[in-house]
Amino acid sequence: MAEDRSGDVIVVGSGVIGLTTALVLAESGRRVRIWTREPAERTTSAVAGALWWPYAIEPRDLARAWALRSLSVYEELAARPDETGVRLVEGVMGEARLDEQGRWAAARLPGLRASTAEEYAGTGLWARLPLIDMPVHLAWLGARFLRAGGVVESRVVTDLAEARAQAGVVVNCTGLGARELLGDTAVRPVRGQLVIVENPGIRTWLVSTDAVAGTTTYLFPQPGRLVLGGTTEDGEWSLEPDPAVAAGIVARCAVLRPEVAGARVLGHRVGVRPVRSAVRLERDALGGGADGGGVLVHNYGHGGAGVTVAWGCAEVVLGLVS
């Protein structure tokens, strides 16, 4: 008799969205496998900044709810930063005003206030937020998933019917892969480049937006390094660092923090964000039928805010497959 796999789950994709979703499902008691073309340490998630903040993600109200649920998890994980990669760090979100954030932020972020002139030359918010060392965090997620009984399989998926033939529940966390896998041209690449330098003593993060130049500049202190960014190049797929772009990033960061100018460069990172006009987080109306049956859930298109909403979205998926 063939083994009954109707209760099995296959999560396609191993970025922070896929890993977190798979972990939540596995810890709910389900038998979960991740199918992934590349390991987590080679995904876009691995090169993310990564500061918790619901930045440029829609639908806004739902994204804030997902972000706040994720915030609760990160606050707990920050008690073990060396293990989880999550720390609570103070910094300034430039070009942001307290009255623009509404109750969602003020009620949930103790100490949120307008930044002082000494902290930032422009208008900004001073906040204590989760700052996540993604290589450490992804490794921790993967290890916790395995401890929960999960399995990771290296596999190139060209049709979700392959997964649906082997499991009663399939969760599509393919990010940009959904363009080809589903023909969803609404998800598009937005390239981001970072420069990694020796930290000259900066202990707070800073994000500064220049609306006229169309740039967002940021400095994120991570253990053993300082992450400088960044770029938002819409429609660009290249993963090769551009030396001229890197020089521009360092120059912009040095305007904000002059001590960065002489910092030794340790490396360059490039990632391509899966941006969509709105996150696709839903149970597929066509999930049942002759093409494999079972349940199909989509969870992709989070742009640069994947780590910000990962846990909230994963819990939504759990509800959709229950």
- Structural domain boundaries of the chain? 8-321
Sign of torsion, CA 233 224 146 305? Answer: negative
Name the region of 28 (left: φ>0; alpha: ψ -120 to 50; beta: rest).
alpha
Q: What residue numbers does the annotated binding site for D-dopa cover?
A: 218, 273, 304
Residue entry with tokens 């999550």: 86
Output the CATH code of domain 8-321.
Answer: 3.50.50.60
Q: What residue numbers does the annotated binding site cover?
A: 44-45, 157, 174, 218, 273, 303-308
Strand partners, 192: 271
8 A C-beta contact, residue 9 and residue 321: yes
Write b or e for each residue in 139-156: b if 16 or more Cβ atoms lie within 10 A of its Cβ, otherwise e: bbbbebbeebebebeeee
8 A C-beta contact, residue 311 and residue 20: yes
* Residues 243-293 pLDDT 10s: 999 999 999 999 999 999 999 999 999 999 999 999 999 999 765 444 456
Task: Decide: residue 137, CB within 10 A, 0-12 exposed, 13-18 middle, 19+ buried.
Answer: buried
Q: What residue numbers does the annotated binding site for FAD cover?
A: 44-45, 157, 174, 303-308
pTM of the model as a whole = 0.95
| Bridge-based pairing state of the strands 187-197 and 265-283 | antiparallel
* Residues 119-130 pLDDT 10s: 999 999 999 999
